[in-house]
A and B are shown apart, each in its own frame.
Chain A
Amino acid sequence: MAKTTSNSSNSVSVVRSEMAPDMPPPIRTDGIVAWLRSNLFNSVSNSILTILSVLMIYYALSALIGYVVADAIWQGTTGTDCRVEGSGMCWPYIFNKLDFFIYGFYPDTEYWRPNIAFAIGAVLLFLLATPRIPGKMIWGFLFLIVYPVVTFFLINGGGFTGLVEVPTEKWGGLMLTLVVAVTGIVASFPLGILLALGRRSKMPMMRSVCVVFIELWRGVPLITVLFMASVMLPLFLPEGTNFDKLVRALVGVTLFTAAYTAEVVRGGLQAVDKGQYEAADALGLNYAQATTLIILPQALKMVIPGIVNNSISLFKDTTLVSIVGLVDILGAVRAASASQGWTAPTIPITGYFFAAAVFWVFTFAMSRYSQYMERQLDTGHKS
């Protein structure tokens, strides 16, 4: 009331009679500057952290790029050319030994065979992995059942194939790494699902067998499994039988990974709502139908990150086969650093850099694909 009274002495007009004072221009609300301001420099502590992070990234990257690109030696034919003080990576060594890193001791006239096998695998994998392309059953059958057999005969040769036999001792490098990783991942997956179902089975015998298997294999480090397979197993087998060393390693890797996959899948099975099981029963589906049509599709979708995690971890663990004398890519890098003509101080580091880069490319691709699949299969359960 008092306010009205005091104002009443002036004009009662509600229209402003003088210009409002100029305001400073508004802070931009879009564009990169605004984004930086609101996300990276919105407080003192955040600003400090931002600057520190940028500095750290700068130092790490400049050192890396300096080593790999700027200070690296690009021209040359022997290790002597890389013997420059303060130089970085020795690229001529990589170029010269690239075929060894990829194929190991595989004879160079036969490189086309693993190449074709790689190509078929890549095409089948693409057909199988791209959701838009129909006929998944066919591609799956070709990739999981036919492809391993074809690949084996193509790379190994001999027998009815009419190709020169290349025994597994000569397989090596990235080729061997991929053989071990793909076999391990592909073969362990169905085995893992069966073990997971078995562990949740109502049949006591089945359940205990699966539990014992899983706990036994999970309780042992992979290096021990490989060592047992490679060194101890031949001593237990009756004299006169001797399995191929690569097969022994593959079996070890597969059974080991299957135990881990089983536990991941079991996690998915447990996360499927009880109502789904009951609904399946109510529809009159039997166990096999309920499992394959209702339960597994939901369970597997949920455990994609876990399975990919397993696969990535297995892919990297394949380097352990080098301790049982299989020359995988890491073994090839190690062996090549002792080869004649390449003796500069930077040679071993260069080889390890290369192996690390190869591993990163493969695992990063796997991880991106799994994220893509998660989005594809997302039916809204995820927050």
Chain B
Amino acid sequence: MQKKLILAALATAFGMSATASNAASDGGTLQAVTDKGFVQCGVTGGVRGFSAPDADNNWSGLEVDFCRALGAAIFDDVDAVRYTPLTSTERFAALSSGEIDVLSRTTTWTMTRDTSLGINFVGVMFYDGQGFMVRKSDGIDSAFDLDGASVCIEAGTTTELNAADFFSSNDIAVNTVVFEEQDEVIQAYQDGRCDVFTTDSSALAAERLSLEDPGAHVILSEIISKEPLGPSVRQGDDAWFNLNRWVYFLLLNAEELGVTQANVDEMLASDNPAIKRLLGVEGTYGDMIGVSNDWGYRIIKALGNYGEMYERHVGPQTEIGIARGVNALWTDGGIQYAPPVR
């Protein structure tokens, strides 16, 4: 009690009033967000391509763009978002205590997290998974050609187990060289002590950039483990969950229908009923999730579709350069698939 009094006194002294948490309001998270005028979004404190400061000192990245899409859908303003950089230990507590409205922070969707932490995963923004990096000069283009290679791995991690499973189940004989620390692994790979370096593919792409000559190394397309990364929200607020989920689906649907940031204005006049529904020309799909009916138009106009976001932050044209792979739409051989807006 005394501590609380001190806190209250100090907070008053600093001119800050206790702000109403969204969790408490009767109208749910969406009502609370609308009232305060911004979405509070939990992000990572710096992961290349996913969330990092850009040249103008604003948060930018694939996961940041999801929060901006929420801002666009609710307020028609991608900047109506406040960011809370979170560490991996405090992220779930921050979400369940109502400090943030949505957690969009390289979080792997697992059964334990989904069922026991009081959170719901909205979807998968990025299908990560363990991959392999080799030297271009070795001329290897598939993980199935690695027979006889030596592989650098960090000891005692799931990475090591995944690799062992993959190689033994595919009858590939490799020599594993095990190190205690990730830094040692990358150093050993750089020094030529092994032919292959393996870890999660997004980390692989980032590590590649810290090598002396990134262009001399290539990441193979095979992914051997499942690390689906996606945003999550508090359990028990279905309206807010639906909004988040459909913002994510909208980004995928827009790409599937060929609606881009550049052509969205022309697409308003499209005859395709699916596009009409998507952009709010027809139907009241915005009402169903508690936002304006042109929510789709707003998001695409401001940020583009999922594919554009991907290309902008992590795609092959960026520094980090991760190929679409499984993150391509189902129509392009990937597994990103969204139910229709109908």
Interface residues of A (CB under 8 A from B): 83, 85, 99-100, 103-106, 108, 148-149, 152-153, 156, 159, 167, 169, 227, 230-232, 234-235, 237, 239-245, 247-248, 250-251, 254-255, 322-327, 331-332, 334-341, 343-345, 347-348
Cβ-closest chain B residue relative to A104 = B57
Interchain CA distance A84-B214 in the complex, whole Å: 13
Interchain CA distance A64-B206 in the complex, whole Å: 28
B54 contacts A343, C-beta separation under 8 Å:
no
Interface residues of B (CB under 8 A from A): 4, 6-7, 10-11, 14-16, 18-21, 23-25, 45-49, 52-60, 82-87, 89-90, 93-94, 96-99, 206, 209-212, 214, 318-319
Interchain CA distance A367-B23 in the complex, whole Å: 47
For the complex with contacts A104-B57, A108-B56, 10 further pairs of A-B residues with Cβ separation under 8 Å are A99-B57, A105-B53, A105-B58, A240-B24, A242-B18, A324-B90, A336-B52, A337-B46, A339-B48, A340-B48
Interchain CA distance A182-B21 in the complex, whole Å: 29
> Nearest chain B CB to A9's CB is how many angstroms away?
92
Interchain CA distance A27-B182 in the complex, whole Å: 61
Q: Which of B45, B82, B93, B318 contacts A335 (CB 8 A)?
A: B45
Cβ-closest chain B residue relative to A153 = B15
Q: Which of A83, A239, A336 contacts B98 (CB 8 A)?
A: A239
A331 contacts B82, C-beta separation under 8 Å:
no
Cβ-closest chain B residue relative to A331 = B45
Cβ-closest chain B residue relative to A105 = B57
> Nearest chain A CB to B12's CB is how many angstroms away?
10
Specify the main secondary structure of chain B where it touches its partner. Answer: loop
Given A105-B57, A339-B54, A345-B211: A232 in contact with B93 (beta carbons within 8 A): yes
Query: What A residues does B90 contact at CB under 8 A?
Result: 227, 230-231, 324-325
Specify the main secondary structure of chain A where it touches its partner. Answer: helix
Query: What B residues does A148 contact at CB under 8 A?
Result: 14
> Nearest chain B CB to A362's CB is how many angstroms away?
23
Q: Which of A100, A243, A340 contacts B319 (CB 8 A)?
A: A340
A336 contacts B87, C-beta separation under 8 Å:
no
Given A234-B97, A235-B93: A331 in contact with B85 (beta carbons within 8 A): yes
Given A242-B19, A325-B87: A234 in contact with B98 (beta carbons within 8 A): yes
> Nearest chain B CB to A169's CB is how many angstroms away?
5
> Nearest chain A CB to B188's CB is how many angstroms away?
15
Query: What B residues does A169 contact at CB under 8 A?
Result: 82-84
Cβ-closest chain B residue relative to A326 = B85
Q: Which of B11, B45, B53 contacts A244 (CB 8 A)?
A: B11
Q: Which of A239, A255, A323 contacts B21 (CB 8 A)?
A: A239
> Nearest chain B CB to A305's CB is how many angstroms away?
29
Query: What A residues does B94 contact at CB under 8 A?
Result: 231, 234, 325
Interchain CA distance A220-B24 in the complex, whole Å: 32
Interchain CA distance A245-B319 in the complex, whole Å: 34
Query: What B residues does A234 contact at CB under 8 A?
Result: 93-94, 97-99
Given A153-B15, A345-B212: A338 in contact with B46 (beta carbons within 8 A): yes
A251 contacts B52, C-beta separation under 8 Å:
no
Query: What B residues does A336 contact at CB under 8 A?
Result: 46, 52-53
A167 contacts B82, C-beta separation under 8 Å:
yes
Interchain CA distance A105-B79 in the complex, whole Å: 13
Cβ-closest chain B residue relative to A324 = B90
A-B contact pairs, 17 of them (CB 8 A): A104-B57, A108-B57, A153-B15, A231-B90, A231-B97, A234-B98, A239-B21, A240-B25, A250-B14, A323-B87, A331-B85, A334-B46, A336-B53, A338-B46, A338-B48, A340-B48, A343-B319
Q: Which of A239, A242, A340 contacts B52 (CB 8 A)?
A: A340
B45 contacts A237, C-beta separation under 8 Å:
no
Given A156-B15, A325-B45, A345-B212: A339 in contact with B87 (beta carbons within 8 A): no
Query: What A residues does B58 contact at CB under 8 A?
Result: 105
Query: What B residues does A232 contact at CB under 8 A?
Result: 93
A152 contacts B14, C-beta separation under 8 Å:
yes
Top 6 A-B pairs, shortest CB-CB distance:
A240-B24, A335-B46, A234-B97, A338-B52, A343-B209, A338-B46
Q: Which of B21, B93, B318 contacts A241 (CB 8 A)?
A: B21
Query: What A residues does B97 contact at CB under 8 A?
Result: 231, 234-235, 242
A341 contacts B319, C-beta separation under 8 Å:
yes
Query: What B residues does A332 contact at CB under 8 A?
Result: 53
Cβ-closest chain B residue relative to A173 = B57
> Nearest chain B CB to A354's CB is how many angstroms away?
15
B10 contacts A341, C-beta separation under 8 Å:
no
A240 contacts B11, C-beta separation under 8 Å:
no
> Nearest chain A CB to B108's CB is how many angstroms away?
19
A341 contacts B57, C-beta separation under 8 Å:
no
Query: What B residues does A153 contact at CB under 8 A?
Result: 15
Cβ-closest chain A residue relative to B98 = A242
Query: What B residues does A340 contact at CB under 8 A?
Result: 48-49, 52, 54-55, 60, 318-319
Interchain CA distance A348-B16 in the complex, whole Å: 36
> Nearest chain A CB to B302's CB is how many angstroms away?
19
A335 contacts B84, C-beta separation under 8 Å:
no
> Nearest chain B CB to A372's CB is how many angstroms away?
32
Given A331-B85, A338-B47: A247 in contact with B24 (beta carbons within 8 A): no
> Nearest chain B CB to A12's CB is how many angstroms away?
91
Q: Which of A167, A227, A334, A341 contacts B45 (CB 8 A)?
A: A334
A240 contacts B21, C-beta separation under 8 Å:
yes
Cβ-closest chain A residue relative to B52 = A338
Query: What A residues does B84 contact at CB under 8 A?
Result: 169, 245, 325
> Nearest chain B CB to A309's CB is how many angstroms away?
25
Interchain CA distance A153-B15 in the complex, whole Å: 8
Query: What B residues does A99 contact at CB under 8 A?
Result: 57
B24 contacts A239, C-beta separation under 8 Å:
yes
A243 contacts B93, C-beta separation under 8 Å:
no
A324 contacts B10, C-beta separation under 8 Å:
no
Interchain CA distance A234-B7 in the complex, whole Å: 12
Interchain CA distance A100-B211 in the complex, whole Å: 25
Interchain CA distance A100-B89 in the complex, whole Å: 25
Query: What A residues does B46 contact at CB under 8 A?
Result: 334-339
